[in-house]
Amino acid sequence: MSVSVRIPTILRTYTGGSADVSGEGATLREVLQKLDADYPGIGARILDESGKLRRFVNVYVGDEDVRFAEGLDTATPSGAQISVIPAVAGGA
């Protein structure tokens, strides 16, 4: 399934500056595996050592936070928009 993945500014160093990249996979887990294969290192910024989503990074399929859906097993239907939204604290 082809999906599009929205990359936040602080992770665009991994994607050569691209804000939107295409991904493949039936679930978020597969999409993230493919993403890390395409852009080595980016997976570790989203998943921790045990392979779980990091607590300061949210991933949305459409406008739903996957933590409140099926987590990494959340289905990613063809054409889905996946957004990675890390915590940012700047304000001054």
Partner 1 sequence: MSLPPLVEPAAELTVDEVRRYSRHLIIPDVGMAGQKRLKNAKVLCVGAGGLGSPALLYLAAAGVGTLGVVDFDVVDESNLQRQVIHGQSDVGRLKAESAAASVREINPLIDVVVHNTALTTENVMEIFSGYDLIVDGTDNFATRYMVNDAAVLLGKPYVWGSIYRFDGQASVFWAEHGPCYRCLYPEPPPPGMVPSCAEGGVLGVLCASIGSIQVNEAIKVLAGIGDPLVGRLMIYDALEMQYRTVKVRKDPECVLCGKNPTVTQLLDDYEAFCGTVSEEAQEAASGATITARELKEMQDRGDDIFLIDVREPNEYEIVSIPGAKLIPKGEFLNGSALEGLPQDKKIILHCKSGARSAEALAVVKSAGFSDAVHVGGGVLSWIKTIDPSLPTY
Residues that bind partner 1 (CB under 8 A): 8-10, 13, 19, 41, 45, 54-58, 60, 63-65, 67-68, 83, 85-92
Of all helices (H) and strands (E), which one includes residue 32? helix 28-38
Name which of 67 and 75 has its Cβ closer to partner 1.
67
Burial profile 3-29: b = 16 or more Cβ within 10 angstroms, e = fewer? bebebeeebeebbeeeeebebbbebbb
Name which of 9 and 22 has its Cβ closer to partner 1.
9
Q: Closest distance between partner 1 and the C-beta of residue 46, in Å?
A: 11
